[in-house]
Amino acid sequence: MDAEQERAVRELLKVKQLPPLSTTAAQLLEAVSNDEIDLKALAAIINQDPGLAARIVGLANSAYFAQPAPVYSVEEAIIRVLGLNMVKSLALGISVARVFDLEKCPVFDLPGYWYKALAAGQLARSLALLLPAVRRPDAAALYLGGLFHNLGALLLVHVMGEAYAGVLQLAAQEPAGKLLDIERERLGLDHRQAGAWLAERWHLPPVIVTMLGSLGDGSYSGAHQTAVNLLNCAVDWVGAIRTGEAYALVDCRWLNNIDGLDRERTPQIEETLRHQLDDLERVAGQLA
């Protein structure tokens, strides 16, 4: 984010308007950065928020994960279904989303927000596995980046509810892909810039801050370039699916500059995710 954008963000998103993280969300934020946290410690953090625990257990029991036997606890969800890293990311994503007041913008599509978040996270993580281990970014970080790639939209709803409702209504009348332009024209910044600012303000892991700050930016060439390209690919492809403008994943332009990527396996990843989209839609509805 350049200096001019930073000034615009600071002007429009006053610190006093920034929603505070809940105690659980703050603890989960620390857990995401802690590679040594164990299952019991993570479950204890989640279990202090019964609503969050119920959502994690509900997700583990969803058709998307197709478990043969019911899951009854957060611990079981971690061990049998989701794994430690996914639970960390999902629990943080759910906790963070809950701090925003979305009633100010009734036209905001919260199920759509979660659909794109879950699908982008899943795809970004799957794409990372196409790289040899020595070149592979942290798959858990990519999943979290996917979950948070639209985080700024929640902040804009929270801070500028009625104005943002007008933006969404106008965008609905325009061709797909115009939302960012309309946001900048009407609000002075777009939801990606707001999300990058919020990620930095909340001290999310540096790779997440970099990925969110580089969405749509083909000029980034820093240490996290591969992660940035993978997340950009996931976000673009999921967005195209959502708007009915789907294209073959192997043709995603963000994959062109990634050395060592096993492109021959991208059709398999695409096919797998396409078969999961209906179940993801239902999971998104649960989270909303």
Q: Let me know if residue 60 belongs to a domain.
A: yes
> Is residue 3 in a domain?
no
Please tell me whether residues 168 and 236 are part of one structural domain. yes
pTM over 0.85: yes
**Residue that terminates a domain, selected from 75, 99, 123:** 99
- CB 196 within 8 Å of CB 152: yes
Instruction: In whole angstroms, give the CA distance from residue 222 to residue 163.
Output: 35
Residue 234 lies in a domain: yes
Q: Which of 6-20, 75-89, 165-179 comes out lowest in average pLDDT?
A: 6-20
Grade residue 215 by pLDDT with cuts at 50, 70 and 90: very high
Residues 132 and 271 in one domain: yes
Tokens of residue 111, six digits: 């199920």
Mean pLDDT lowest for which of 16-20, 232-236, 277-281, 283-287?
16-20
Q: And the tokens for 232?
A: 């950009």
Instruction: Burial-class residue 68 by CB neighbours within 10 Å (0-12, 13-18, 19+).
Output: exposed
Whether residues 126 and 53 fall in one domain? no
Q: Is residue 71 part of a domain?
A: yes
Work out the number of other CB atoms within 10 angstroms of the CB of residue 222: 9
Q: Is residue 122 domain-shared with residue 57, that is, in the same domain? A: no
- Kindly state the DSSP code that residue 21 receives in the 8-state scheme: P
CA 277, chain centre distance (Å): 16
Q: Establish if 38 belongs to a structural domain.
A: yes
Give the Cα separation of 54 and 49 in Å (integer).
Answer: 9
Question: Which is nearest to 207 in space by CA: 190, 228, 192, 179?
Answer: 228
**SS3 state of residue 246:** coil
The distance from CA 284 to its chain's CA centroid, rounded to whole angstroms, is: 12
Residue 157: CATH number of its domain: 1.10.3210.10
222 DSSP 8-state letter: S
Residue 235 lies in a domain: yes
**95 and 108 assigned to the same domain:** no
Average pLDDT, integer, range 280-284: 93
Same domain, 213 and 78: no
pLDDT of residue 84: 93
Give residue 258's region: left, alpha or beta (phi > 0; psi -120 to 50): beta
* Nearest to 21, CA basis, from 199, 286, 269: 199
Q: Where are the alpha helices (DSSP H) in the chain?
A: 3-12, 23-32, 39-47, 50-60, 74-76, 84-97, 110-128, 139-148, 151-159, 161-171, 179-187, 191-201, 206-213, 225-242, 266-287
pLDDT at 4 over 70: no
Q: Of the candidates 74, 99, 124, which is a domain's last residue?
A: 99
Among candidate residues 107, 186, 120, the one with its CA nearest the CA of residue 150:
120
Query: What is the secondary structure of 14-36 as a DSSP string?
Result: -GGGSPPPPHHHHHHHHHHT-TT
Same domain, 153 and 278: yes
CB distance 212 to 149 below 8 Å = yes
Is the distance from CB of 77 to CB of 3 less than 8 angstroms?
no
Check whether residue 166 and residue 262 sit in a common domain: yes
134 and 156 fall within a common domain? yes
237 lies in some domain: yes
What does the pLDDT read at residue 100? 92
Please report the pLDDT score of residue 161 as a whole number.
Answer: 87
Percentage with pLDDT > 90 across the chain: 72
pLDDT in the model for residue 15: 46
- Say which residues have a Cβ less than 8 Å from residue 25's Cβ, sequence separation at least 6: 92, 95, 96, 98, 99
Domain ranges, residue 52? 20-99
Among 65, 99, 133, residue at a domain's last position: 99
For 277, residues 6+ apart whose C-beta sits below 8 A from its C-beta are: 119, 241
Higher pLDDT, 236 or 218: 236
Q: How many residues does the chain have?
A: 288
- 150 and 87 part of one domain: no
Q: Percentage of residues in the chain with pLDDT exceeding 70?
A: 94
Let me know whether 238 and 122 are in one domain: yes
38 and 166 fall within a common domain: no
Structural domain count, the chain: 2
Q: 238 lies in a domain?
A: yes
Number of H helices, E strands in the chain: 15, 0
* Secondary structure of residue 214 in the 3-state scheme: coil
pLDDT at position 38 is 92
